[in-house]
Chains A and B, each alone.
Chain A
Amino acid sequence: DTGVSQDPRHKITKRGQNVTFRCDPISEHNRLYWYRQTLGQGPEFLTYFQNEAQLEKSRLLSDRFSAERPKGSFSTLEIQRTEQGDSAMYLCASSSALVSYEQYFGPGTRLTVT
């Protein structure tokens, strides 16, 4: 049994470039969440999916951000025209009714925008 996995674990990019992160949830978990965590802060909700449907998006998710979960399994989070303020840890979590919707987190992708 594997937990939530995220790829890459670290990403360094130059300002203005596009980046894409991937999250593979625990199998059979139908809900998938994205959070962002900056240094010294708690994670902040970005968006979540139930199966392939994106059900809620935070105001933090500007139009440079887009998330997809095309087949209800893995998800991608893309940031276009990255800015230095996008530097953060991007965390993915998954859950299902089988675990009373408790959210299990992946190891995160640390993004550094130079």
Chain B
Amino acid sequence: AQKVTQAQTEISVVEKEDVTLDCVYETRDTTYYLFWYKQPPSGELVFLIRRNSFDEQNEISGRYSWNFQKSTSSFNFTITASQVVDSAVYFCALEGGSEKLVFGKGTKLTVNP
């Protein structure tokens, strides 16, 4: 069975703080993909990143960075110098042998001015 756990239900920070969103996954597949999506209040899921299981290199995109560690089955997401526009629900997701995405329950991030 595949499972994604996002233990942090809600996080609140002040603008310009760094914040890390945790994601732990379970899968028996040797080849799989991990994703992060952002869901702002408007409701549409916005794709942020996709990583395959063979690529453990960390990735940085502007203020966003991702840390993939197979040894701990984690794929954490860090926002540096957070901004109010980063306020949203963030979902981590896993795609294994089947074609479907398995999502975590999400972490609601609130960035206060």
Contacts and interface: CB of A to CB of B under 8 A. Distances in A.
Contacts of B91: 42-43
A33 B45 contact: no
B15 to A, nearest CB: 25
Nearest to A6: B44
Interface stretch (A14-22, A64-72, A99-107): A99-107
A101 B47 contact: no
A108 B102 contact: no
A28 interface: no
A45 B93 CA distance: 11
A89 interface: yes
Given A89-B43, A102-B47, A108-B44, A41 B105 contact: yes
Interface residues of B, number: 21
A31 B47 contact: no
A101 B37 CA distance: 15
A97 interface: no
A42 B50 contact: no
Contact of A104 (B47, B103, B106): B47
Contacts of B30: none
Given A45-B100, A89-B43, 10 more contacts: A40-B106, A43-B45, A43-B101, A43-B103, A44-B103, A56-B98, A105-B44, A105-B45, A106-B44, A107-B44
